[in-house]
């Protein structure tokens, strides 16, 4: 969902940019905090454009954006019960695949289930992901957390054991949230790898730089023991960060210190020297945003 300012479809308060971009070198961090499940999962897009786009992708290519394996069915039943308790009109008598698609149309966020697989591991067994950040749900299906994160340079070495330990210790009903920042040259919510888009490089202008902020949520389900992992995507223009000097410095420092392989994975390697120079100029004493920056429209394409 795009909520870069109060004129956007949801008109909710903006992100805590100093938390998203602290004044610290790049590091893979869990950064979890408590979060009320009902608050995270509640509708935020008053215009209905997010649900309309989700319905579109699920109608056009359901097998691309949704998946369900037999081990996920107990978690599906619990999740549908949760959604119904929060007001979603999903018929629990539908077959499991139809319930999965209905849940994907009812919630604004993407979601997957990480199901206990023995030996302290969890596997991705199903879910609905209409707004992926350059990854495909079908490619991750059946993978452990380590396998899901395998393409991310350095993340498993830093966090794999911590993540599985946290999953094991989670108490049912307690919600946890964190943010993860990605970057893009376009504002599309659906950035599936099969959909071509322009890449970030040294020619990018500040107007074309979008922060693709993932608001991530974790909830252990009581009966199945599966972890519901949900993601709200917020596409935010760079302009939204420029009024927070500490966050501008934090973003510049992060881009400057991220290892080359991780910068390549995040899609900013070819653009980062240019972006860091722009951000450093803005955050310097007397610095200001380049005149070429304008606020892009906050509409779902």
Residue-wise pLDDT tens digits, 235-291: 999 988 998 999 999 999 999 999 999 999 999 999 999 999 999 998 876 555 554
Residue 1 belongs to a domain: no
Counted domains in the chain? 1
- Distance separating alpha carbons of residues 174 and 278, to the nearest angstrom: 41
Q: Give Cα 18 to chain centroid, integer Å.
A: 18
* Per-residue pLDDT at 206 exceeds 80: yes
pLDDT, averaged across the chain: 90
pLDDT band of residue 58 (cuts 50, 70, 90) is: very high
Domain range spanning residue 107?
28-239
Residue 281 belongs to a domain: no
Residue 219 belongs to a domain: yes
**Helix, strand or coil, per DSSP, at residue 51:** helix
Residue 232 belongs to a domain: yes
Residue 246 belongs to a domain: no
Quick one: pLDDT at residue 247?
95
Residue 11 belongs to a domain: no
Residue 157 belongs to a domain: yes
Q: Give Cα 264 to chain centroid, integer Å.
A: 18
Residue 214 belongs to a domain: yes
- Over the stretch 117-148, which tens digit does the pLDDT of each residue have? 987 799 999 999 999 999 999 999 999 999 99
């Amino acid at each position: 969902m795009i909520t870069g300012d109060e004129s956007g479809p949801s008109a909710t308060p903006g992100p805590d940019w100093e938390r998203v971009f602290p004044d610290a070198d790049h590091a893979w961090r869990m950064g979890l905090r408590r979060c009320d499940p009902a608050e995270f999962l509640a509708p935020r897009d008053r215009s209905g454009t997010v649900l309309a786009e989700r319905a579109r992708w699920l109608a056009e290519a359901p097998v691309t954006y949704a998946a369900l394996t037999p081990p996920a069915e107990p978690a599906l039943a619990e999740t549908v019960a949760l959604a119904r308790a929060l007001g979603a009109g999903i018929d629990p008598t539908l077959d499991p695949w139809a319930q999965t698609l209905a849940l994907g149309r009812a919630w604004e966020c993407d979601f997957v289930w990480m199901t206990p697989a023995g030996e302290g591991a969890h596997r991705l067994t199903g879910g609905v992901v209409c707004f992926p950040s350059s990854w495909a749900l079908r490619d991750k299906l059946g993978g452990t957390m380590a396998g899901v994160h395998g393409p991310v340079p350095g993340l498993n070495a830093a966090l794999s054991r911590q993540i599985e330990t946290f999953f094991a210790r989670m108490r049912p009903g307690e919600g946890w949230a964190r943010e993860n920042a990605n970057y893009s040259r376009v504002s599309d919510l659906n950035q599936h790898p099969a959909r071509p888009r322009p890449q970030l490089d040294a020619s990018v202008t500040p107007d074309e730089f979008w922060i693709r902020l993932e608001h991530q949520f974790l909830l252990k389900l009581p009966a199945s023991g599966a972890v519901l992992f949900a993601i709200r995507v917020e596409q935010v223009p760079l302009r939204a960060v420029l009024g927070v000097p500490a966050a501008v410095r934090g973003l510049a420092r992060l881009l400057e210190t991220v290892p080359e392989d991780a910068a390549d994975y995040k899609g900013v390697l070819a653009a980062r020297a240019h972006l860091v120079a722009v951000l450093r100029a803005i955050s310097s004493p007397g610095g200001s945003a380049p005149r070429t920056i304008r606020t892009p429209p906050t509409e779902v394409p």
